[in-house]
Amino acid sequence: MQDNLFDLIIIGAGPAGITGAVYAARKGLNFLVLTGDIGGQAAWSSDIENYTGYQFVSGAELTIKFEEHMKKYNIDIRENEPAGELSREGDIVLVKTAKTEYAAKSVVIASGKQSKELGVPGEKEFRNKGLAYCATCDGPLFAGKDVAVIGGGNSALDAALQLIKIAKKIFIVNISPELGGDAVMRDKVIKSGKVIVMNNTRVTGVLGDKFVSGISVSNKEGERELAVEGVFVEIGLIPNSDFAADIEKNDQGEIKVNCRNETNVKGVFAAGDVTDVPEKQIIIAAGEGSKAVLTASRYLAIQE
């Protein structure tokens, strides 16, 4: 194992992991990146108008830019190989995947988050059969159809704004008393004329035969069915942190870090949406990723 000992392993290739990888390459570290995909949540976003240097860029375009930046440094990235288990033995951190086990002197966890599920009847049965968790990915399949977006925050508003250009009619089913998210996005949704907002409303089931044909919802007026052919679940995200059993987390499963991105385990750092750092934004994740790798680099220098 010592013959194949990396200085650093970066887990994840969203904005935090990719930015961290660029900094690790510039520091001349012997490292690799383990990830399920490239781009993370950024790849799912449609209209990004708050990333410095871009007046407007789509998530897909920004992801391509990220990849191009990594290619400049010939970064060793193992796609479709997410971390399955992380542990520490002596001075070495071990990362297991479905394929093999890697050893490193330090690790930066930048594994991001994944979509929450509704947990209602029909959800699992109709996944990819009219029910989806990514409007950017699957929205074009529902051109001219009535659809429902479940949620009331920025993710739901972003999905609705994408679907306004595609779908016939959009229901936003929001469990809260009113829509959250950014005021600019709310105004665009409400003024579109294609969106019906249903606040204080809960989804109780996903309906259909081979494909989605509707959802059942419940509110103070009782229970009813909405005839829709597409359902987009946008009720929030949960951290991809289960593999890091010994890392301290908050009650939401987010990894606790200090201002230097250090966790409670020596040599293990974390950055981006998987952490308890407030405000989950692409630009914040990128900055945290660079900071985590700089801290890891300083840690490695001290150990030598």
Express each pLDDT in 186-213 by its tens digit.
999 999 999 999 999 999 999 999 999 9
Contact of 24 with 294, CB cutoff 8 Å: no
What does the pLDDT read at residue 28?
97
Same domain? 59 vs 85: yes
Q: Give residue 46's pLDDT band: very low, low, confident or very high (50, 70, 90).
A: low
Q: Tell me how far apart the alpha carbons of residues 227 and 125 are, in angstroms, rounded to a whole number.
A: 18
Res 2 pLDDT > 70? no
Nearest to 35 by CA among 85, 67, 80, 68: 80
Same domain? 24 vs 38: yes
Per-residue pLDDT, averaged over 6-19, amounts to 97
pLDDT above 70 coverage of the chain, percent = 98
Same domain? 109 vs 125: no
Whole domain around residue 152: which residue ranges?
Answer: 117-233
Q: pLDDT tens for residues 125-151?
A: 999 899 998 887 788 889 999 999 999
Same domain? 194 vs 221: yes
Same domain? 59 vs 105: yes
Same domain? 291 vs 268: yes
Q: Give residue 76's pLDDT band: very low, low, confident or very high (50, 70, 90).
A: very high
Query: What long-range pairs does 262-265 form, CB within 8 A, spacing at least 24?
Result: 262/295, 263/109, 265/88, 265/93
Per-residue pLDDT, averaged over 6-23, amounts to 97
* CATH code, domain with 299: 3.50.50.60
- How many domains does the chain divide into? 2
pLDDT above 90 coverage of the chain, percent = 81
Boundary (domain end) residue, out of 185, 211, 233: 233
Same domain? 61 vs 81: yes
Same domain? 241 vs 221: no
Nearest to 65 by CA among 77, 53, 81: 53
Q: Tell me how far apart the alpha carbons of residues 28 and 24 are, in angstroms, rounded to a whole number.
A: 6
CA distances from 169 to 46, 147, 160, 255, 297 (A): 19, 6, 10, 39, 51
Rounded to the nearest 10 degrees, the angle between the axes of helix 15-26 and helix 59-72 is 20
Same domain? 74 vs 128: no
Query: Beta partners for 222?
Result: 219
CA distances from 234 to 33, 122, 166, 181 (A): 28, 16, 18, 12
Q: Tell me how far apart the alpha carbons of residues 263 and 240 are, in angstroms, rounded to a whole number.
A: 15
Q: What burial class does residue 19 get, using C-beta atoms within 10 Å of its C-beta: 0-12 exposed, 13-18 middle, 19+ buried?
A: buried
Same domain? 123 vs 99: no
Same domain? 136 vs 208: yes
Res 217 pLDDT > 50? yes
Same domain? 123 vs 229: yes
Q: Tell me how far apart the alpha carbons of residues 17 and 40 are, in angstroms, rounded to a whole number.
A: 9
Contact of 232 with 244, CB cutoff 8 Å: no
Boundary (domain end) residue, out of 233, 251, 272: 233
Res 3 pLDDT > 60? no
Torsion angle, alpha carbons of 17, 22, 26, 31, to 10: 50
Q: Is the whole model's pTM more than 0.85, yes or no?
A: no
Structure tokens at 191: 């003024």
Dihedral class, residue 130 (left if φ above 0, else alpha if ψ from -120 to 50, else beta): left
Q: What angle do CA 11, 240, 52 make, to 5 degrees?
A: 70
Nearest to 261 by CA among 293, 304, 300, 239: 293
State the Rg of the chain over Cα. Answer: 21
Q: pLDDT tens for residues 272-300?
A: 999 999 888 889 999 999 999 999 999 99
Least confident of 49-63, 92-106, 245-259: 49-63
Boundary (domain end) residue, out of 214, 233, 252: 233
Side by side, which strands form the sheet with 230-233? 131-132, 230-233, 146-150, 169-173, 195-198
